[in-house]
Structure 1
């Protein structure tokens, strides 16, 4: 039998392109773990650090393998990895503080009209009265 097959990006596997097969696969524990692992890459490092600091080390993981992976209630990070994560959080915090230090003011002077572009300056009524609006166009 031919036909197109469906590729799961999270699990890196092919399956029959059938709605029931895909639903069964997406509800499975292996797909859920693979998807969680993938999405964890985009989590905030500060959030991960605070969660992992609260946990105690996992004996199964330190022995070689823990079947619960990210759903384990124990920490799977070594002290060295936690320190690296802490460095990442500190560098992110410093870069944010530098960005906040810059003022969000307009690049021109706000206390006087001279620094503003013409479209933002107040209308000069005397100049407006002098304008001749009866010009012939074309």
Structure 2
């Protein structure tokens, strides 16, 4: 007996030669099994986009079942299902933005720029008067430290007058 080919999608095996393998890989059963396998791993956004582009299936809406099943070219999702899927997509996007460190509150770039401009103007307006005492003391200590370093780094001959 020769080599055997096992198809993981269809869960069956057959004699491995070019003709049999080609015939199986192009077969309807294999293509359906392969599609159903990859559909398990599709994200909600792709499913939502595909379902929104389809028209509703009349047979499914009338009887609650369709002879074509998952191969139907019409949508079997109700408005409620689409709304739930849309909410799931929005939640995934929000979570993704949160992981990326983006602004979770959402909104447009213009809104964010307006908020930023207001925040910066408040900070600038807050310090137009003389700085608070703590900041003033820190600034003075930095000036004193700078003078000390300048004296320390200059040659000794320049400090002594003849």
Deviates more, 1:77-86 or 1:24-33: 77-86
Q: Which residue of 1 aligns with 2:77?
A: 77
Q: How many residues align?
A: 101
Pairwise CA distance, 1:3:
4.6
Whether 1:41 and 2:40 are equivalent positions in the alignment is: yes
RMSD (Å), alpha carbons: 2.7
CA distance in 1 between counterparts of 2:79 and 2:28 reads: 29
Pairwise CA distance, 1:19:
2.6
Pairwise CA distance, 1:96:
1.1
**TM-score normalised according to structure 1 size:** 0.58
* Higher normalized contact order (CA 8 Å, seq sep 6+, divided by chain length): 1
CA distance in 2 between counterparts of 1:53 and 1:81 reads: 11
Q: Evaluate the alpha carbon distance shift between residue 15 and residue 61 of structure 1 in structure 2; reply closer, same or farther with a 3 A threshold.
A: farther
Q: Which runs of 5+ in 1 are unaligned?
A: 103-138
Based on CA coordinates, which of the two structures has the bigger radius of gyration? 2
Pairwise CA distance, 1:46:
0.9
Q: Evaluate the alpha carbon distance shift between residue 26 and residue 68 of structure 1 in structure 2; reply closer, same or farther with a 3 A threshold.
A: farther
Whether 1:26 and 2:57 are equivalent positions in the alignment is: no
- Structure 1 stretches of 4+ with a deviation exceeding 6 A read none
Q: Which residue of 1 aligns with 2:94?
A: 94
CA distance in 2 between counterparts of 1:81 and 1:14 reads: 38
Pairwise CA distance, 1:25:
0.5
Pairwise CA distance, 1:60:
4.0
Q: Which residue of 2 aligns with 1:17?
A: 16
CA distance in 2 between counterparts of 1:97 and 1:79 reads: 27
Q: Which runs of 5+ in 2 are unaligned?
A: 103-162
CA distance in 1 between counterparts of 2:66 and 2:19 reads: 32
CA distance in 1 between counterparts of 2:31 and 2:9 reads: 9
